[in-house]
């Protein structure tokens, strides 16, 4: 039944490799049992917890899968009894009936689920609207003597027939229940095809060897041929026969780029020989295709490919393990081609337990059982789908990032790896915490490099954000920037997260020496500074508080002296509060306020609170604020000092100011200085009060 599956990406069963499968020295049964627990702990790949369940394949039930829409079709009795469509994205299954007009070869819903297309013969495709009247309409292929290999939806109402002689693009008008040819394209004999909804792109296998691939871009209403390319064949057989088959070719979108993934089998007689390889051909947007990555599998046998979170996962049936490749890491360049080794140790997927089906509560069948992994009834689809048609399960493959932390001991490699993953932030933060709690064993040098890696990504984001905001400002004329920032990548660990999740718990840990805490904090600030990222005051406060708690005032003083802890009013206030523990903090705070040059009022307040009234007056005069300052504030401060000479000076200073400003030495009633005038008279008598003329 499985050969009816419309997808090419089934388990590879090339005759040569299936032979070598059996002679591989991996004894799956015995070795698995012993190390099962260990592997269970460390497996970093898992099947999703909420698989799609469908009626398993049987004599009355046929199963189809549409990779483009990720929908699984359970077709009972040719559709007459009913078709149930379940998708990973759909909550509710779609069900409908079809007339039983013979064996169904392929069935796919249009994007949007309005029309179902069914292929029952090599000549035509039948259509049926899901809404409204259920009468079918049909379209035969145009070419004479040609055979329809398959079809694919390229838009909600456009469909491409792939025949052995070319492509035919039709528009389906559901309301009129008619189908119209828009474009046809003739080619030499087509062996098979692969469809990718990225583009959408079709890949046609041409020539008797099948190794010439013709990419075709299926734009709306048009078909565009791109440059064809040839997959090298090691030995050209005589007479020529198909050397590159459909199951060995698939497409994948990795880091936003479309690749053609070709599995190259090798027969290996001794383990020292090179194993099979996966070749990645980059299908660039300008239509040019070239081989740029080679994944070295180091083994032979049956393989199947998934792409999860931009990682290429190669499942190997014989060893029941999966290899993981990242085309951005662990590469060795060989000319234009980059050779890759697995980035992680090869491990099996996490075991999956099967819950008994709700309806089938029949005796022994109800027990919870462990699903057989890498089973022969598995079919692997793009990008991350694994189906067990025998059990009626459809999973997506997931990466368990936290598990990888233990799998990859090299922390720098680990961080490189994590930075490229989705949802990696919590794991990254966790890795940082672990690294720091390891104390000195982790090595400050490693910590330093990890900080640099994180901040490099952080800086990129800040730059992107800045240009984004600038564009927004320019375009919308000062519209406030949107609070939600969609561009932010998952790998961006900003200062606040680092501070709250890693640095604060670390700094508060009782078991770690404060010197190490300071070293780490300074290292983080150094890294930020190196990437020209403005460190926030809370980081500095953490440094200060840690130093203060350990009475390392002199070290703090030196850091401030070299302006390592950037100036801010907040920091200055913090320093003022430390004066009673460390008197020089007062001077440091004043210097800082002075440098800020926006804190003149604060400086005056600080000086007045110290009773340094003359200093405050001199400061205000020097900074040009003498004409607008409040006389009352200074007179009050001077009267509190209890030095009558000081009060006299301050009083006379303001009388002179009044004279200059208003030609009269007297205070305005609005200045509320009457009590001080009285106080002055009391101290020095009326005579001295007589103002200078």
Partner 1 sequence: MDVLGAHSLVAFAVYNPRFGSNEGEEYKKLLYYYPEDVEINEKIKTIGLCEAIVQFSRTFSRQSPARALHTQKNRHHFYEAEEHFWMVMVVKNPVVMKENSEGKSVPEYQEDVLLDSVYNAVLRQTYTMFKLFKGTFGMAMEQGGVETLKRRLQEFFSRYLLTLRLEQCDLIDTLGGISFFPLDKMTYLKIQSFISMVEFSFAHIQFTAFLYNEQLVWSGLEQDDMRTLFKYLTTSLFPSTIEAELAGKESPIHVSFPGYSQHYGRFLLGPRSLTDPNSPLRVPKIHVYIGSRHSELHLIVYKALSAAVCFLVDATVVLTLDFFQRLDTLVGPQLTLLASDIAEQYSSNRKPASSEKDSQFKFIYFNHMNLAEKSTVHVRRAANPSLVTVPTELLHILGDINSDFASSVEDEEVTVKAMSDYWVVGKRSDQRELYVILNQKNANLIEVNEEVKKLCTTQFSNIFFLD
Give the interface with partner 1 as residue ranges (CB under 8 A): 440, 443-445, 448, 515-516, 518-519, 522-523, 525-526, 529-530, 551, 554-555, 557-558, 561-564, 583-584, 587-588, 590-591, 593-595, 603, 614-615, 618-619, 622
Nearer to partner 1, 394 or 572 (CB): 572
Q: How far is the CB of 408 from partner 1 (least distance, A)?
A: 24
Give phi and psi for 159, each to the nearest 5: -140, 145
Angstrom distance (rounded) from CA 436 to CA 520: 8
User: Given the complex with partner 1, which of 93 and 611 has the nearer CB atom?
Assistant: 611
CB of 215 to partner 1, least distance (A): 50
Return the number of the residue (147 or 554) whose C-beta is nearest partner 1. 554
CA dist., res. 79 & res. 306, Å (int): 31
Q: How far is the CB of 587 from partner 1 (least distance, A)?
A: 5
Q: Name the residue nearer to partner 1 (CB basis): 109 or 525.
A: 525
Our CB check for partner 1 shows the closer of 124 and 545 to be 545
In the complex, minimum distance from the CB of residue 603 to partner 1, in angstroms, rounded to a whole number: 7
Q: Where are the alpha helices (DSSP H) in 389-443?
A: 401-407, 411-419, 425-437
SS3 505: helix
Cβ nearer to partner 1, comparing 31 with 609: 609
* Least distance from partner 1 to the Cβ atom of residue 505, Å: 20
- Taking the least distance from each CB to partner 1, the nearer of 308 and 590 is 590
CB of 518 to partner 1, least distance (A): 8
Task: Report yes or no: 49 and 393 within 8 Å, Cβ to Cβ.
Answer: no
Encoded tokens for 679 = 């106080």
Helices within 492-552 (DSSP H only): 495-497, 504-508, 514-530, 537-549
Query: Smallest gap, in angstroms, from Cβ of residue 554 to partner 1?
Result: 5
Q: Taking the complex as a whole, how short is the minimal distance between the CB of residue 595 and partner 1, in angstroms?
A: 5
| Alpha carbon distances (Å) from 496 to 307, 370, 486, 503, 596 | 33, 43, 18, 10, 24
The residue among 516 and 684 lying less far from partner 1, judged by its C-beta, is 516
CA distance 308 to 45: 10
Complete DSSP assignment for 637-674: HHHHHT-HHHHHHHHHHHHHHHHHHHSS-SPPGGG--H
What SS3 class is residue 381? strand
Instruction: Give the residue among 496, 293, 311, 322 at the shortest CA–CA distance from 422.
Output: 311
Task: Kindly give, in sequence order, each residue whose CB lies less than 8 Å from that of residue 690, ignoring residues fewer than 6 positions away.
Answer: none
| CB nearer to partner 1: pick between 354 and 564 | 564
Q: Closest CB to partner 1 among 204 and 603?
A: 603
Residue 225 CB partners (closer than 8 Å, separation 6+): 185, 214, 215, 216
| φ/ψ of residue 225, rounded to 5 | -80, 135
Any idea which residue has 């394209």 for tokens?
185
What does the DSSP assignment read for 590-648? HHHHHHHSS-HHHHHHHHHHTT-HHHHHHHHHHTT-TTTS-HHHHHHHHHHHT-HHHHH
Query: Which of 314, 335, 316 is closest to 325 using CA atoms?
Result: 314
* Sequence-separated (6 or more) residues with CB below 8 Å from residue 71: 65, 85, 86, 87, 90, 108, 109
| Residue 622 Cα distances to 207, 411, 601, 615, 617, angstroms | 89, 56, 13, 10, 9
- CB-based contacts of 124: which residues, under 8 Å, 6+ apart? 138, 139, 140, 141, 148
Chain position carrying tokens 């399960």: 393
> Which residue lies nearer to partner 1 by CB, 105 or 557?
557
Pick between residue 277 and residue 452 the one whose CB is nearest to partner 1. 452
Q: Pick the closer one to partner 1 by CB: 38 or 622.
A: 622
Beta partners for 347? 322
Query: % helix / strand / coil in the chain, to the nearest 5?
Result: 35, 25, 40
Task: Count other Cβ atoms within 10 Å, centred on residue 146.
Answer: 19
| Buried b or exposed e, range 112-132, using 16+ CB within 10 angstroms | ebebbbbbbeeeebbbbbbee
What is the rounded distance in angstroms from the CA atom of residue 5 to the CA atom of residue 522? 60
Closer CB to partner 1, 557 or 657, in the complex: 557
Q: Which letter, b or e, does each residue of 449-472 get, where b requires 16 or more Cβ atoms within 10 Å of its Cβ? A: bbbbbbbebbbebbeeeeebeeee
Q: How far is the CB of 604 from partner 1 (least distance, A)?
A: 12
Nearest approach, Cβ of residue 582 and partner 1 (Å): 10
Of 189 and 516, CB closest to partner 1:
516
**Cβ proximity to partner 1, 328 vs 527, nearer residue:** 527
Q: Which is nearer to partner 1, 115 or 525 (CB)?
A: 525
Structure tokens at 170: 């039709």
Question: How many other C-beta atoms lie within 10 A of the C-beta of residue 423?
Answer: 12
How many Cβ atoms are within 10 Å of 133's Cβ, its own excluded?
A: 8
């Amino acid at each position: 039944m499985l050969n009816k599956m419309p997808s090419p990406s089934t388990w590879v069963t090339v005759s040569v490799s299936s032979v070598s499968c059996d002679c591989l020295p991996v004894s799956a049964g015995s070795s698995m049992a012993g190390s099962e627990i260990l592997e269970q702990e460390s497996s970093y790949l898992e099947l999703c917890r909420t698989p799609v369940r469908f009626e398993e394949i049987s004599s009355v039930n046929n199963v189809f899968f549409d990779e483009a829409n990720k929908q699984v079709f359970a077709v009972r009795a040719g559709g007459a009894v009913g078709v149930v469509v379940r998708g990973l994205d759909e909550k509710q299954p779609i069900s409908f009936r079809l007339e039983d007009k013979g064996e169904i070869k392929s069935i796919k819903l249009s994007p949007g689920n309005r029309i179902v297309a069914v292929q029952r013969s090599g000549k035509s495709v039948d259509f049926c609207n899901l809404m409204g009247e259920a009468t079918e309409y049909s379209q035969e292929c145009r070419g004479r003597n040609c055979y329809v290999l398959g079809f694919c939806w390229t838009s909600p109402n456009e469909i491409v027939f792939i025949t052995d002689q070319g492509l035919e693009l039709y528009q389906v008008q559901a309301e009129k229940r008619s189908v119209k040819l828009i474009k046809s394209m003739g080619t030499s004999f087509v062996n098979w095809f692969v469809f990718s909804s990225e583009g959408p792109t079709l890949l046609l296998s041409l020539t008797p060897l099948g190794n010439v691939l013709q990419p075709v871009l299926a734009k709306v209403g048009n078909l565009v041929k791109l440059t064809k390319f040839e997959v090298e064949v090691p030995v050209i057989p005589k007479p020529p026969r198909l050397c590159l088959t459909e199951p060995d070719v698939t497409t994948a979108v990795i880091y936003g780029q479309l690749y053609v993934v070709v599995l190259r089998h090798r027969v290996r007689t001794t383990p020292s020989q090179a194993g099979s390889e996966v070749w990645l051909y980059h299908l660039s947007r300008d239509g040019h295709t070239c081989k740029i990555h080679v994944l070295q599998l180091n083994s032979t046998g049956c393989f199947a490919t998934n792409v999860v979170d931009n990682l290429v996962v190669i499942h190997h049936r014989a060893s029941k393990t999966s290899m993981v490749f990242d085309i951005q890491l662990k590469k060795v360049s060989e000319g234009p081609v980059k050779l890759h080794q697995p980035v992680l140790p090869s491990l099996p997927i996490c075991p999956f337990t099967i819950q008994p089906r709700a309806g089938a509560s029949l005796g022994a069948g109800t027990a919870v059982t462990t699903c057989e992994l890498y089973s022969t009834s598995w079919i692997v689809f793009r990008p991350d789908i694994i189906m067990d048609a025998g059990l009626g399960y459809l999973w997506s493959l997931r990466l368990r990032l936290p598990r990888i932390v233990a799998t990859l001991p090299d922390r720098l490699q680990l961080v490189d790896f994590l930075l490229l993953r989705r949802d990696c932030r919590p794991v990254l933060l966790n890795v940082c915490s672990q690294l720091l709690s390891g104390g000195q064993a982790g090595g400050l040098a490693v910590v330093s490099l990890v900080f640099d890696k994180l901040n490099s990504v952080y800086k990129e984001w800040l730059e992107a954000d800045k240009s984004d905001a600038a564009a927004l400002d320019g375009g919308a004329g000062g519209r406030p920037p949107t609070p939600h920032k969609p561009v932010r990548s998952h790998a961006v660990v900003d200062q606040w997260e680092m501070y709250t999740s890693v640095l604060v718990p670390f700094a508060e840990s009782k078991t770690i020496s404060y010197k190490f805490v300071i070293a780490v904090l300074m290292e983080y600030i150094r890294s930020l500074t190196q990437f020209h990222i403005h460190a926030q005051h809370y980081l500095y406060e953490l440094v200060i508080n840690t130093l203060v708690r350990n009475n390392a005032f002199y070290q703090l003083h030196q850091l401030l002296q070299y302006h390592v802890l950037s100036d801010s009013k907040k920091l200055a206030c913090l320093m003022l509060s430390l004066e009673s523990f460390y008197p020089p903090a007062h001077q440091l705070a004043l210097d800082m306020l002075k440098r800020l040059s926006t804190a003149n009022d604060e400086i005056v307040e600080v000086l007045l609170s110290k009773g340094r009234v003359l200093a405050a007056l001199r400061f205000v005069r020097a900074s040009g604020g003498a004409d607008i300052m409040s006389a009352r504030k200074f007179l009050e401060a001077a009267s509190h000092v209890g030095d009558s000479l000081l009060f006299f000076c301050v009083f006379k200073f303001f009388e002179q100011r009044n004279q200059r400003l208003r030609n009269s030495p007297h205070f305005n009633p609005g200045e509320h200085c009457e009590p001080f005038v009285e106080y002055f008279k009391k101290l020095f008598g009326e005579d001295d009060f007589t103002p200078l003329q």
